[in-house]
Amino acid sequence: MTSFRFEILHRSTRSQARVGRIETPHGVIDTPSFVAVGTNGTIKGLDNDMVDAIGLQLMFCNTYHLLLQPGAEMVRRAGGLHRFINRKLPIITDSGGFQVFSLAYGSVADELKSRGTKKTDGHVLKINEDGVSFRSYRDGTKILLTPETSVAAQKAFGADIIIPFDELPPYHIGYDQLKSSLERTHRWEQRSLDEHLKNPNQQAMFAVIHGGIDPELRRQSCQFLTKLAFDGFAIGGSVGKNRLEMVEMLQTMMPHLPEEKPHHLLGIGDLDSLHACVPLGIDTFDSSYPTRAARHGLLLTQKGNLKVEKKECAEHFGPIEEGCTCWTCQRFSLAYLHHLFKAHELTAYTLATIHNLHFMVELMRRIRQSIMENKI
Amino acid sequence: MTSFRFEILHRSTRSQARVGRIETPHGVIDTPSFVAVGTNGTIKGLDNDMVDAIGLQLMFCNTYHLLLQPGAEMVRRAGGLHRFINRKLPIITDSGGFQVFSLAYGSVADELKSRGTKKTDGHVLKINEDGVSFRSYRDGTKILLTPETSVAAQKAFGADIIIPFDELPPYHIGYDQLKSSLERTHRWEQRSLDEHLKNPNQQAMFAVIHGGIDPELRRQSCQFLTKLAFDGFAIGGSVGKNRLEMVEMLQTMMPHLPEEKPHHLLGIGDLDSLHACVPLGIDTFDSSYPTRAARHGLLLTQKGNLKVEKKECAEHFGPIEEGCTCWTCQRFSLAYLHHLFKAHELTAYTLATIHNLHFMVELMRRIRQSIMENKI
């Protein structure tokens, strides 16, 4: 019923890395692929015409944020997210679970750094088997997020790939609690899938594997979820407090995922993690790292990261990186970008974001090429 | 020696309005023309490629700001302002006097509203016959601004039209003080012109007529400055505390300006003033009004201003204005723009600015057409 299709074009002879092709109703995603985050239906500082022009094949939008503003019903009336935001290429939405549980427990990063949750983010009222209710920080409205309401919202948005509702347990949690959270997540994902399959709407649904950093629970999660009719598998929950823990966890977990389905790593997309995870068989990565870095004046280049506000950049009248074909480098010098950052001009954030996103698109193209040549 | 040239194509039979054409080394400015302000070498939220695409023929950059960041010497090393900011079309720079005297006295608006000057804007150290010295609010550097240093900076920038250094007197000032300020301004403008003519560099220099709201002093200022070899005349200083005072002042003053030279009104460009001043013979207007309004969610339309954050806009799935050919209206709905503003997305400011600037370009085109048809 769905026009979603995943095809593996080449498997590296040196690792689990593979080059693939995901077909969706809004076009193809060549994998491994970097997925930029456009939380509110726009990548910060860019318009969706530019995002298409950069060649970003998949954009990640957040159901939690879109639920609060403009609301699922408004997007439905606009004719779906693609029409509302005027994006022609594929979109993936999450379930809203990650954000709402971050409100309740704080994010992993918050926990590790002993930060509290942001008070402005509203608060969770109740968590039970049905789902979660919370208050909108925007207008105080009470919102109920359950497997069924999350999927209903994602139907209204009409993204090409959607995510079942899951529970995000705190990072510091005992085994018994983690296990019962995992069981609830499995029940919620099953309910989400059932709701989704009532009206597939040409959308694909990727399960979210949980189990924290416990290898056995991760294995159980793979076992349970891979038996269900999901179109792909995302790795969620805590993947460890550093890259080493993450890689170890993925190494033991990945063999339990069906090879013929796409594998997505949720919320991870810094360069080192990307290079570490592609050989493990991850196909898509979403992360706000390159776009957030851009807004903080950190430019990605093949020679490493460049801090645009550094004095050395003030007189560099060539492009950010020689030979870069991005829209920014074709038109503006690093010195001008330095000036715009120093002058706190909005245009700075836009031009830097274009460059970093183009860098990611090109990086993934090179990574696919390397896999084709069995170099990864 | 300069390739600057002004030609009047048509004079209205009903008013002093005229349609003209200013030729500069970087292209033509059709007058009456709206001049957008790109203080730091960029119109806030836009890149200069988009500004060209919108058809903005003249951009106003501020010498004071560019002196502090990146500095005149850096722009000179970059090959001038056009190359540094990658703008192909004409640029006008001011002398820096306006901002530095606003530091000393506060702006007219500040005075009328009894506001103090912003402490973050640095402070003036000394004002004497030579010029003004002040401290950079950025790094505490002492900067001397005189007719000669202002012109030297504007030579380094290389704008098509430059402005002589003048004194901006406070709005509340007695006749004797205003008269002696005017005399100093005349001496400074003469010195600026002398400095400019040592190396015209294909740049044009527009005098700034002063005299506050005193008709006789304005007349004297016209008389003095029109005898000198300026290429055009700008109206500066206080033009009154409301539109009526301004129009009255212009009515008595404009007949004292040579008809065959371009007339610029400094810092005024709201729609009502524009409509009031075109019939008095003003050719060019610079103002940050349409771009600042855009960033505050005020969209210009032929039916009046539209507050994008109003509830009515949330479900308007058509463009901001039916039939608008701007880049934003061709791609995005008012509802989406409303959403982006509500979500505080940077993209909102960009899309709104594109629309408002396009509106101004189109408005001036219609105004020129009306003058051609003797309807103004």
> What would the DSSP string read from start to end of B76-113?
HHTTSHHHHHT--S-EEE--SHHHHHHHHH--HHHHHT
pLDDT 10s digits, B256-273: 999 999 999 999 999 999
Contact criterion met (CB below 8 Å) for B17 and B32: yes
Whether residue A225 sits in one domain with residue A172: yes
Q: What is the pLDDT of residues A190-241, one digit of tens each?
A: 999 999 999 999 999 999 999 998 999 999 999 999 999 999 999 999 888 8
B374 within domain boundaries: no
Domain membership of residue B172 (yes or no) is yes
Task: With respect to residue A69, please indicate whether it lies within any of the assigned structural domains.
Answer: yes
Asked if B63 and B94 count as a contact pair (C-beta separation under 8 A), the reply is yes
User: What is the CATH classification number for the domain harbouring A27?
Assistant: 3.20.20.105
pLDDT score, position A119: 45
* A19 and A67 in a common domain: yes
ipTM of this model? 0.95
Instruction: Assess if residue B84 is contained within a domain.
Output: yes
Q: Which two tokens stand for residue A154?
A: 């994602």
In this prediction, residue B238 carries a pLDDT of 87
Same domain? For A187 and A330 the reply is no
Which pLDDT tens digit goes with each residue over B46-101? 999 999 999 999 999 999 999 999 999 999 999 999 999 999 999 999 999 998 98
Do residue A199 and residue A315 come from a single domain? no
Find the catalytic residue in B30, B160, B283, B286. B286
Residue B50 placed within a domain: no
Domain span at B256: 5-31+62-94+147-287
Residue B25: which pLDDT band, with cuts at 50, 70 and 90? very high
Question: A48 lies in a domain?
Answer: no
Q: Count how many domains chain B has.
A: 1
Pairing of strands A232-235, A204-209: parallel
Listing from the earlier edge strand, what are the strands of the sheet with A5-11? A5-11, A18-24, A27-31
3-class DSSP state for residue A191?
helix
Same domain, A187 and A324: no
The model's confidence at residue A120, banded by pLDDT at 50, 70 and 90, is very low
User: A283 and A311 in one domain?
Assistant: no
Q: How far is B94 from chain A (nearest CA, A)?
A: 18
| CA–CA separation, A334 and A313 (whole Å) | 6
Mean pLDDT of chain A: 94
Q: Does the structure show a pLDDT above 50 at B1?
A: no
pLDDT tens for residues B324-339? 999 999 999 999 999 9
Query: Of A245, A260, A287, which residue constitutes the final position of a domain?
Result: A287
pLDDT at B110 over 80: no
pLDDT band at residue A1, thresholds of 50, 70 and 90?
A: very low
Let me know if residue B41 belongs to a domain: no
Are A253 and A348 part of one and the same domain?
A: no
Confidence of residue B294 (pLDDT cuts 50, 70, 90): very high
Does A273 share its domain with A317? no
Q: B30, B94, B214, B231: which one is catalytic?
A: B94
**DSSP string of A193-260?**
HHHHHH--TT-EEEEEE--TT-HHHHHHHHHHHHTS--SEEEE-S---SSHHHHHHHHHHHGGGS-TT
B73, B327, B337, B345, best to mutate vs chain A, most A CBs in 10 Å: B345
Q: Which residues of chain B make contact with A351, given a CB cutoff of 8 A?
A: 47
- Which chain B residues contact residue A86 at CB under 8 A? 331-333, 336
Whether the pLDDT of residue A117 is over 90: the answer is: no
Closest-CA residue of chain B to A330? B86
> Binning pLDDT at 50, 70 and 90, where does residue B137 land?
confident
Whether residue A218 sits in one domain with residue A69: yes
Q: Name the average pLDDT for chain B.
A: 94
Give the count of beta carbons closer than 10 Å to the beta carbon of residue B319.
19
- Same domain membership, residue A152 and residue A88: yes
Same domain, A278 and A315: no
Note whether A238 and A161 are same-domain residues.
yes
Tell me what pLDDT residue B139 has: 86
Domain annotation covers residue A295: no
- pLDDT surpassing 70 at residue A121: no
